[in-house]
Copies of this chain bind each other. A is one copy, B any other.
């Protein structure tokens, strides 16, 4: 499964795997794909350094990348405390009341939220980059618009390709103008932050909008048939996130959450602002329902909502409070029904891809011989 982009990066298959787990990222690269470690959950540079060291030791010299969450526009002099101060008391009370209603225990004294997401703050993202550029990463992706120009320049000086996520053709063209190298077209059906345009429509639109830049299709892809479809739409590769969550190498902290993922159908996700304040696809839970309820206070804008719910999400996850327990995941969750190794997922993707190509050739009246 070779495209110009996969050849440039020196990988066997044009399959890019985004994951917060170093063991998954390394396994994806070892399997012949391109593992991309999500950095947003790292608050301390040392932790990122430790995990990149681990990847280096386990990747067998294969290429890999890093995904940061960095705003293109600098917000000068705003501290986390300033942002905290903008959260209305009524919203804090709604969080408390909801947690109380479901009997969610408090964290132990001195215990801090492991899920506090501050990686979106520019100073945190920059510290992450200072660490990352000491490693031979081949791709730097940004989930929040184009990275600042100096970051793009620094990446290019070190022969690192820069990728950015886009949910519309207009958004993708802005990235291209900013000088990025790869666009990830993130469809409506994807997990995490998404727009409203589905992959079937978005992928070719973005491909045409930024031609000749390579486009990766993201959203709704978890089988070889879907890989073939994305490549037929003009993508130079696929970007998969959700499918790795239930692999053997993943380290989801909650067995009950894994069971919920196995049980969920493709209709059991929702695009909700509950997690970060921006619409992000995730498992639909009584927690997302509470925030999406028109009778409730509604989610705050980004980044307020993320700060508001950080501790609550930690408590829900730690104590595995079933009705509230969720995670960002795409509609492909309907096909995540048992634990498999990353290699098994890969074998399934490549076998399924070959069969889909056979199928399309038969329909086109062509020989299916290789």
A interface residue numbers (CB < 8 A to B): 1-3, 14, 168-170, 187-189, 195-202, 204-205, 219-221, 223, 225-226, 228-234, 265-267, 294, 330-332, 334-335, 353-354, 356-357, 359-361, 363-367, 369-370
Contacts and interface: CB of A to CB of B under 8 A. Distances in A.
A266 B369 CA distance: 38
Contact of A219 (B1, B196, B200, B356): B200
Given A232-B229, A363-B2, A198 B195 contact: no
Contacts of A223: 204
Nearest to A331: B201
Nearest to A220: B200
Contact of A354 (B205, B353, B364): B364
- Which of A201, A265, A363, A365 has most B Cβ within 10 Å? A201
Q: How many copies does the complex hold?
A: 2
Contacts of A228: 229, 232-233, 360
A201 B363 contact: no
Closest 8 interchain pairs by CB? A200-B220, A229-B229, A198-B198, A228-B232, A189-B198, A201-B331, A232-B356, A229-B232
- Which of A169, A232, A365 has most B Cβ within 10 Å? A232
26 contacts: A3-B363, A170-B265, A187-B198, A198-B198, A198-B200, A200-B220, A200-B226, A201-B226, A201-B266, A201-B330, A201-B332, A202-B266, A225-B233, A228-B233, A228-B360, A229-B229, A231-B363, A232-B356, A233-B356, A294-B294, A353-B364, A354-B364, A357-B361, A360-B360, A364-B370, A365-B370
Nearest to A223: B204
B234 A359 contact: yes
Given A195-B267, A331-B198, A363 B225 contact: no
Contacts of A354: 364
Contacts of A266: 168-169, 197, 201-202, 205
B232 A360 contact: yes
Contacts of A334: 169, 201, 205
Nearest to A217: B200
Contact of A199 (B200, B204, B232, B356): B200
